Amino acid sequence: MRVPAPAKINLHLRVGPPRADDSGFHPLLTWMVTAGLFDTLTFVRDAGRKRDDDHARADGSASIFALACSDPALPTDSAGNLVTRVALALADTLSRVGEGSTARGAMRARETGRVSAFLNKRIPPGAGLAGGSSDAVATLIALNRIWDAGWSREKLSAFAAQFGSDLSFFFTAAADDGSAICTGRGEVVRPTPPPDTGRWAILALPKFPMSTPAVYRRFDEMNLGDERSIIEEPDFAGWSKLPAAELMPRLINDLEPPAFSLRPELGEMRAAMEKNFGRVFRMSGSGSSVFSLCDRFDEAQSLATRLRNEMSVDAIAVEIAPKVTWETAAT
């Protein structure tokens, strides 16, 4: 079974002051869209394997899933890769609960035995594009079918939310248009129309990753959290009708000042891009990727070429909210 895992871009990202409870998370108001840059996950059942091996493990789950990755630098264990973490957590949950469709899934997981997964990594880690979260959602959608667990999308999404703020978005994106307003810590997702004409983006991919917790820590050190920014909601549906050149200046990312404070060269690169190309560029998520929307694909493509040639910045043209049918793509 092969499942595509798209990247996301935060078109607009407002961040409030950290929550008073101990969670440490920041309340968000963000407009997220999927982007046409994909990781691909391939899942195969290990048919030749002795079933007894799987039962031999004390926790019944550790031997049930194994991950390999096209990028040898990327960890594949449950501590370092969200794909393995959610797979083992799902196997563990299925083996514990013993009623209804869940029992069927537990039985099927044991019967079919171990699943091997291969992750073809194209979305750079630490770029603010949520590749790891998207991979994890693709994994849950695939294993739900392979292990015949019979979980609804809502149940999978609720289960996934414990593993990160971005996962819920991808479940909604899988069912809708790949465009949503996300609030709470990011897990409260409401579909919204994607940009009408600004359906293409030039995406600049600096070589260095950004650490999301470090960017949020610097945001707090700089005392930037303002409650009003997450309460006063713009007219996103109205914004979606604007041409790219009118939409871009309205978009804000509150994590730009802390990210540029941690990595001044990122802020300098953005400023140089805006000056050289005479258009607005925004950072996605906590960085390091930077984007600008375009009304036409050839415009995005020629900008990507110019960025590579004139500024030596790795850049690609991507479709915004591409049509991805997760279920039919899974063959």
Please give the residue ranges that form the binding site for ligand C5P (CB under 6 A): 24-26, 28, 164-166, 185-186, 212-213, 216
Nearer to ligand C5P, 19 or 96 (CB): 19
Q: In the structure, how many helices (H) and strands (E) does the chain have? A: 14, 10
Distance CA 113, CA 60 (A): 11
Other beta carbons within 10 angstroms of residue 320's beta carbon come to: 23
Find how far residue 301's CA is from the centre of its chain. Answer: 23
Nearer to ligand C5P, 26 or 121 (CB): 26
Find how far residue 324's CA is from the centre of its chain. Answer: 14
Nearest approach in angstroms of CB 132 to ligand C5P is 8
SS3 string of 133-156?
HHHHHHHHHHHHHHCCCCCCHHHH
Reply yes or no on whether 226 is catalytic: no
Find how far residue 194's CA is from the centre of its chain. Answer: 17
**Residue tagged active-site, from 8, 39, 54, 254:** 8
Nearest approach in angstroms of CB 114 to ligand C5P is 27
Reply yes or no on whether 8 is catalytic: yes
Nearer to ligand C5P, 54 or 166 (CB): 166
Instruction: Provide the residue count of the chain.
Output: 331
Nearer to ligand C5P, 130 or 294 (CB): 130
Distance CA 200, CA 128 (A): 18
Q: Which residue is nearest to ligand C5P (CB)?
A: 165
Distance CA 225, CA 72 (A): 38
Find how far residue 59's CA is from the centre of its chain. Answer: 30
Q: For residue 207, count CB atoms less than 10 angstroms from its CB and return exposed for 0-12, middle for 13-18, buried for 19 or more.
A: exposed
**Residue tagged active-site, from 39, 54, 135, 166:** 166
Nearer to ligand C5P, 216 or 326 (CB): 216
So which residues are the catalytic ones? 8, 166
